[in-house]
A and B are shown apart, each in its own frame.
Chain A
């Protein structure tokens, strides 16, 4: 009995576990950095991102403009910093719509089985068979361009994977002893789904999310590239790449810098997902 009192309280803290995984550490550091950029943009950006100085169009990187200027003479560094905002905002909207919807559908199908499962899974299959980007374009074409519409489009086509994963895990859990034990003491319905099943389904959903985010960022950039994302002149990395392709051979930095920003952000989320997988695996405790 004394063994309980002697054992250290809890395991190593969450922060320590993050630090133990190099991928998670690097990934989260970069993500936090980009988040800081987005939040502190007005304070750190050297210029107004929409300020046009046509006399200084397409200038190469210099002391005055660290990343040079674009076709309208706007400072690219400032546009990169401000461009983090729509990117992260879109990511946030997609996450808030996609994951809860998918997890909800999955848990309900896995838990109730029978007709509920069949109907929900067929719907999931149908949505899953739509090509994501194409549907996003169609959506935006109908509803008009804009960040929120783009986010909605991406979210509504991306939730099926979460539903399938959550369903499989929930179905496996249904046969477990801890759910049986919870039932025996009268825990039912929403309380059971929210308090007992969800915490067990969440870790793998989070990992999938981190992995998905890199793809979503690329998809958002793709929308921007095609002019279906934010409206000009708002700074957004995808549309910046698009503008840059016109002068790519002579003024390569105009397209390369935002392209690089997309790459780094995407990569950071990938690393984070990699590290999270190790941390959140319950078998690691």
Chain B
């Protein structure tokens, strides 16, 4: 496999609390290359925290420790604020769950899509606009010109998320982290957005880290899957091997999805859930 874009070794994240430090991520190691990797876990498993640590977006009181946390051979744990500003929006991109909260309602769409270009490149206004329109088209939006000059409020959930993807990919990042990118969308839309992410990843030769709670869904789009539980990585494998998962937890997570086949039966539930 090619040189990994992201190398994580023994990452731990803890938050101070009145009862002592709480470890939300407990010594995990993994790498992401130019491929789609899914990081799957339930609420509280630490998956979102991991994503944020990679982007340097954890609150200040979080204690992050790692033997190695490197992106493109650059060590992230010792990165300065200006270093982060350089990386975010150029090398690293992040897509969050709800475009309603990520897009600024007071600015037009076009301006927000171009923003990364404004901050990280020296392209002229006309060139930026052209790239933005091109990107909006690439993410499957009809009538990019109209969307370019409209406000986020006029966009539906699915369109908003496509705009977010366009905004994050416009500067050709090497690694995109998508944290539950489709949870706020209708089921039918979810597949469309995930397909889009997958194809763009391949087309642009990027890496994609897909964070989700739905194992069955993301495994269809990922090359590899990592299952997280209580801050640790339970199991990692190629998604094709999921049927042979060794861990009971992974099997239960897989089987938990309802379908026509489970009609009339009880869905399997792993022992110690709350």
Instruction: Verify if A1 is at the interface (C-beta below 8 Å from B).
Output: yes
- For residue B230, give the distance in angstroms from its CB to the closest CB of chain A: 12
Interface residues of A in 1-17 (CB under 8 A from B): 1-4, 8, 12
- The CA-CA distance from A4 to B274 in the complex, in Å, is 9
Residues of B within 8 A of A3 (CB): 274
Residue in chain B with minimal CB distance to A4:
B274
Residue in chain A with minimal CB distance to B19:
A8
- For residue B152, give the distance in angstroms from its CB to the closest CB of chain A: 20
- The CA-CA distance from A103 to B274 in the complex, in Å, is 41
Is chain B's binding surface mostly helix, strand, loop or mixed?
A: loop
Give A1-44 as 1s and 0s: 1 = Cβ < 8 Å from B's Cβ atoms.
Answer: 11110001000100000000000000000000000000000000
Residue in chain B with minimal CB distance to A16:
B18
Give B1-26 as 1s and 0s: 1 = Cβ < 8 Å from A's Cβ atoms.
Answer: 00000000000000000110000000
Residues of A within 8 A of B274 (CB): 1-4
- For residue B271, give the distance in angstroms from its CB to the closest CB of chain A: 11
- The CA-CA distance from A2 to B271 in the complex, in Å, is 12
Residue in chain B with minimal CB distance to A1:
B274
- The CA-CA distance from A12 to B18 in the complex, in Å, is 10
Residues of A within 8 A of B18 (CB): 8, 12
- The CA-CA distance from A8 to B20 in the complex, in Å, is 13
Residue in chain A with minimal CB distance to B272:
A2
Residues of B within 8 A of A8 (CB): 18-19
Residue in chain A with minimal CB distance to B17:
A8
- The CA-CA distance from A12 to B274 in the complex, in Å, is 24
- For residue A247, give the distance in angstroms from its CB to the closest CB of chain B: 55
- The CA-CA distance from A1 to B272 in the complex, in Å, is 8
Give B254-274 as 1s and 0s: 1 = Cβ < 8 Å from A's Cβ atoms.
Answer: 000000000000000000001
- For residue A107, give the distance in angstroms from its CB to the closest CB of chain B: 28
Interface residues of A in 215-239 (CB under 8 A from B): none
Residue in chain B with minimal CB distance to A3:
B274
- For residue A1, give the distance in angstroms from its CB to the closest CB of chain B: 5
- The CA-CA distance from A1 to B19 in the complex, in Å, is 20
Residues of B within 8 A of A4 (CB): 274
- For residue B98, give the distance in angstroms from its CB to the closest CB of chain A: 16
- For residue A19, give the distance in angstroms from its CB to the closest CB of chain B: 14
- For residue B168, give the distance in angstroms from its CB to the closest CB of chain A: 27
- For residue B253, give the distance in angstroms from its CB to the closest CB of chain A: 19
- The CA-CA distance from A194 to B274 in the complex, in Å, is 34
Residues of A within 8 A of B19 (CB): 8
- For residue A187, give the distance in angstroms from its CB to the closest CB of chain B: 29
Residue in chain A with minimal CB distance to B273:
A1
- The CA-CA distance from A12 to B17 in the complex, in Å, is 11
Residue in chain A with minimal CB distance to B274:
A3
- The CA-CA distance from A229 to B116 in the complex, in Å, is 62
- The CA-CA distance from A52 to B96 in the complex, in Å, is 73
- For residue A249, give the distance in angstroms from its CB to the closest CB of chain B: 53
Residues of B within 8 A of A1 (CB): 274
Residues of B within 8 A of A2 (CB): 274
- The CA-CA distance from A1 to B269 in the complex, in Å, is 14
Residue in chain A with minimal CB distance to B44:
A3
- The CA-CA distance from A264 to B18 in the complex, in Å, is 35
- The CA-CA distance from A219 to B274 in the complex, in Å, is 56
Interface residues of B in 1-56 (CB under 8 A from A): 18-19
- The CA-CA distance from A8 to B18 in the complex, in Å, is 10
- For residue B2, give the distance in angstroms from its CB to the closest CB of chain A: 42
- The CA-CA distance from A4 to B19 in the complex, in Å, is 16
- The CA-CA distance from A157 to B28 in the complex, in Å, is 63
- The CA-CA distance from A8 to B274 in the complex, in Å, is 16
- The CA-CA distance from A1 to B274 in the complex, in Å, is 4
- For residue B8, give the distance in angstroms from its CB to the closest CB of chain A: 28
- For residue B77, give the distance in angstroms from its CB to the closest CB of chain A: 29
- The CA-CA distance from A32 to B242 in the complex, in Å, is 65
Interface residues of A in 182-235 (CB under 8 A from B): none
- The CA-CA distance from A203 to B50 in the complex, in Å, is 36
- For residue A2, give the distance in angstroms from its CB to the closest CB of chain B: 7
- For residue B227, give the distance in angstroms from its CB to the closest CB of chain A: 21
- The CA-CA distance from A2 to B19 in the complex, in Å, is 17
- For residue A13, give the distance in angstroms from its CB to the closest CB of chain B: 12
- The CA-CA distance from A6 to B216 in the complex, in Å, is 32
- For residue B122, give the distance in angstroms from its CB to the closest CB of chain A: 40
Residues of B within 8 A of A12 (CB): 18
A-B contact pairs, 7 of them (CB 8 A): A1-B274, A2-B274, A3-B274, A4-B274, A8-B18, A8-B19, A12-B18
7 smallest CB-CB distances across A and B, nearest first, come from: A3-B274, A1-B274, A2-B274, A8-B19, A8-B18, A12-B18, A4-B274
